């Protein structure tokens, strides 16, 4: 797939002409990562921005004791590393390939040229960074004011909206996540996550089949999200 086609639907390049997109596409290079491979860490120089062409990338922070908190998951068509454009010395998180990934990479210097040549890119960049700030504030609010059950309900509803498939037996989240991965999404331990999942299953809110989560009672999860 040509890079211009990859970036055409990106919010960052919204409003640009086909000719402009074609020229910008030449500034991206193709890079690949295997599942589990680190794309960058907070110790790496923040000199590039990435676009996911295929696969899934996890952005996370890590504590000295090894605990991890997932900040975001980036799927096909999403960009990450934008913060390096404004604060380039080092990255602010880890980026890990959750699956085998094909990425398009563009150096910060090239992004700066894009902004100079196409001021609309700067406006779009501010929008994407603003959304990231809102998402971070929502995550902080959830960690501060919600219990584990409510945080899990909130995350399952988010994953349902993102990956859910409606069936006659409920809404199946069409991606498999381990208990550890889910725990790191909501800032808890794997043991606590497993206990809460069992409670939700016993309450008839969800089920686990073939290592996939099935949402059986959306309203019940919404209520738990608000009151848990």
pTM: predicted TM-score of the whole model, two decimal places? 0.87
More confident residue, 85 or 102: 102
Structure tokens belonging to residue 180: 């550890």
- The pLDDT assigned to 124 comes to 87
- The pLDDT assigned to 19 comes to 82
Give the CA distances from residue 175 to residues 115, 162, 178, 185, in Å, rounded to whole numbers and listed in that order.
36, 10, 10, 14
- The pLDDT assigned to 228 comes to 63
- The pLDDT assigned to 218 comes to 96
Query: Which residue in the block uniquely carries the two structure tokens 């999860």?
Result: 221
- The pLDDT assigned to 87 comes to 66
Q: Is the pLDDT of residue 1 over 70?
A: no
More confident residue, 212 or 129: 212
The average confidence (pLDDT) of the chain is 90
Q: How confident is the model at residue 20 (pLDDT cuts 50, 70, 90)?
A: confident
Give the CA distances from residue 59 to residues 23, 39, 69, 131, 207, in Å, rounded to whole numbers and listed in that order.
29, 10, 9, 15, 27
For each of the domains in the chain, give its residue range(s) and CATH number, in order of start.
3-143 (2.60.120.10), 148-227 (1.10.10.10)
């Amino acid at each position: 797939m040509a890079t211009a086609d990859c970036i055409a639907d990106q919010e960052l390049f919204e409003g640009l002409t086909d000719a402009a997109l074609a020229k910008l596409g030449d500034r991206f290079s193709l890079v690949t990562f295997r599942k589990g491979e680190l794309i960058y860490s907070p110790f790496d120089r923040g000199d590039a921005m990435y676009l996911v062409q295929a696969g899934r990338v996890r952005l996370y922070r890590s504590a000295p004791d090894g605990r991890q908190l997932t900040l975001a998951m980036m799927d096909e068509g999403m960009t990450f590393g934008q913060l390096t454009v404004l604060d380039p010395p080092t990255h602010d998180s880890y980026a890990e390939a959750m699956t085998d990934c094909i990425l398009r990479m563009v150096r910060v210097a090239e992004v700066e040229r894009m902004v100079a040549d196409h001021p609309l890119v700067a406006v779009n960049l501010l929008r994407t960074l603003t959304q990231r700030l809102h998402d971070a504030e929502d995550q902080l609010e959830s960690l501060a004011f919600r219990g584990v059950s409510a945080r899990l309900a909130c995350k399952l509803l988010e994953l349902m909206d993102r990956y859910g498939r409606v069936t006659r037996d409920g809404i199946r989240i069409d991606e498999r996540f381990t208990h550890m991965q889910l725990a790191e999404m909501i800032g808890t331990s794997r043991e606590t996550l497993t206990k809460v999942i069992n409670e939700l299953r016993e309450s008839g809110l969800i089920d686990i089949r073939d290592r996939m989560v099935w949402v059986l009672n959306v309203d019940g999860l919404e209520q738990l999200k608000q009151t848990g």
